[in-house]
Structure 1
Amino acid sequence: MFDLIDYKAVLVIALIFIPLEQLLPLHAGQSATRRHWLNDVFYLLFNGIVIKFGMLLLVGAAMLVVRRVVPEALPAAVQSQPSWLQAIEALLVADIGFYLAHRAFHAVPFLWRFHAIHHSIEEMDWLAAHRVHPVDQILTKSASFLPLFALGFSGEAVLIYVLIYHWQSVFIHSNTRIKFGPLRWLIASPQFHHWHHANDRQAYDKNFAAQLPVLDLIGGTLFMPQHMPEKYGLDEPVPQLYHRQLVYPFVTTAEPAAPIAEASPAAAKPE
């Protein structure tokens, strides 16, 4: 359904967000070529190939089992609805899957080792959205897509969700000072997601949803003060080159993650 690498989409995203971050910067002193930006360009151009193949295998195998346990009447009921309603439902269902998987990556020590790659970002911008370990993305995205396929959502509804997810993912990581006012409680924004990346004890293990902050409100993990974070990243040492980040989860000697109800997912973070 999608090309492995849509270079036109990459170009459009770059042409939108690079000027936007210059016109409405959150951190005005941050350069477009901030530290390790070339590493994240590599993620942008090549990580998607591994992720898409991994998802194809994982979701495909899981669907062989799911088809046996999901009653045929359930997908039929979903497909009987108009596409616009399916799209809304798909967004909610997929984000619940994302929330649960994302929270697990913070709570389970072995999974945190993969997710720490994403949290090693120290300067937030549109490129930061792409620095994610393939294992992290394969499992998290599969948790979003598997329920959509299992419930029989239409191709149009799934496509709308995919477009919203990808554009919003870039936007919420971007170095922009755009805020949504009262809508910030309904739609994820940089104000919401930057706190997820903050190296600030109050913000540890908060704001797991991708699109819908209300899921964090329900889950007791919402944290969104009016001011913005001053510091991002981890005190836990994480390598900054792609090939080293790929093997980091398997060789790291970092301390186990703390439970969500306590402090940080990485015990190496400061008090």
Structure 2
Amino acid sequence: MEPMDLFGLKTLLICALIFVPLERLLALRTQQKIFRKGLGTDVIYALVNGAFLKICIFLMAAGAMGVSASLIPEKVAMTVNGQATWLQVTEIIILADLGVYASHRAFHAIPALWRFHAIHHGIEELDWMVAFRAHPVDQIVTKAVSLLPVFFLGFSLEAITVYLIIASGHALLLHANVRVNFGPLRWVIASPQFHHWHHADQRDAYDKNFASHLALIDALFGTFHIPGSKMPEKYGVDEPIPTDYIGQHSYPFVRREQQSRNAADAVAKPATET
């Protein structure tokens, strides 16, 4: 693999050519700037963490496929692999999204896990680049839970590749600064409106809309939340999340008392200097 492919710079530029104009044409928040606060940090996430995640997924796939060769009957693997590609992709979407839902819900429910996931929720302006901002622990656990069963069952490389392309594009769309709700299909397919409510810093939207592809999963488990045609008033979390790349990666490991002191110092320092 070429270094350029590993870091995904070409892919990132292609995505920019698609989503930047899209966010201008279908803008939800028309005053939001393209070069908004924190964009540089998200670019680092996209390139550096993106390369790291690719390596992790490759190792997961190799390990799962190696184990499945000795545990899964050859007939089962051949049956799964022999299906039409479109059917395999459909099955992968359902299977993987059930894993995403379970993992995502756990990251919200368990305080120790939430500290990793809070990095993704710390952003106060949503656009397509926000999809890349996630702590490595959050990413690895979620990918392991959602993709290991896919690799283990022997789905074809072609079907997995198609799924990964769909999943990546869908993730960017969900976070994009666009006013799109998918109409009646919003109960079935995750839309930008659906996921924007997941990021809302509003009490009625807390711990809702966990699925990444199928809103139907949230509907079935009672966590679906789309209040008509409304969109959230604000995003983010109430806790002080560091704004820099290194600080965000260390945040889950720093004691809360120290974080509170650091936040207080950051507020007090400008006042003492004026």
TM-score, normalised to structure 2, is 0.87
1:233 aligns with 2:236: yes
Specify the alignment match of 1:244 in structure 2.
247
Query: Does the 8 Å contact 2:8/2:50 carry over to 1?
Result: no
Describe how 1:1-271 pairs up with structure 2 within 5 A: 3-58=5-60, 60-61=62-63, 65-226=67-228, 227-253=230-256
Query: Does the 8 Å contact 1:178/1:190 carry over to 2?
Result: yes
Give 1:73 deviation, angstroms.
3.4
Output the CA distance in 2 between the equivalents of 1:183 and 1:100. 22
Query: Does the 8 Å contact 2:64/2:152 carry over to 1?
Result: no
Specify the alignment match of 1:261 in structure 2.
none
Give 1:7 deviation, angstroms.
2.1
Secondary structure class of the residue paired with 1:4: helix
Give 1:238 deviation, angstroms.
0.7
98-107 or 191-200, larger mean C-alpha shift:
98-107
- Spell out, residue by residue over 1:174-199, the C-alpha distance to the aligned partner (whole angstroms, 9 max, x if none): 00012211111121111100000000
Task: Look up the equivalent residue of 1:108 and give its one-letter code.
Answer: I
Change in Cα spacing, 1:181 to 1:110, as seen in structure 2 (3 Å) is same
Output the CA distance in 2 between the equivalents of 1:219 and 1:157. 28
Query: Does the 8 Å contact 1:179/1:189 carry over to 2?
Result: yes
Number of equivalenced pairs: 254
Query: Does the 8 Å contact 1:59/1:142 carry over to 2?
Result: no
Task: Look up the equivalent residue of 2:226 and give its one-letter code.
Answer: M
Q: RMSD between aligned alpha carbons?
A: 1.8
Give 1:252 deviation, angstroms.
4.0
- Spell out, residue by residue over 1:65-110, the C-alpha distance to the aligned partner (whole angstroms, 9 max, x if none): 5555444433222122111111111111111111111111111221
Give 1:62 deviation, angstroms.
5.1
Query: Does the 8 Å contact 1:113/1:252 carry over to 2?
Result: no
Change in Cα spacing, 1:109 to 1:177, as seen in structure 2 (3 Å) is same
5+ long unaligned stretches in structure 2: 258-274
4+ runs deviating over 6 angstroms: none
Q: Which has the higher helix share?
A: 2
5+ long unaligned stretches in structure 1: 255-271
- Spell out, residue by residue over 1:26-52, the C-alpha distance to the aligned partner (whole angstroms, 9 max, x if none): 011111111111111111121112222
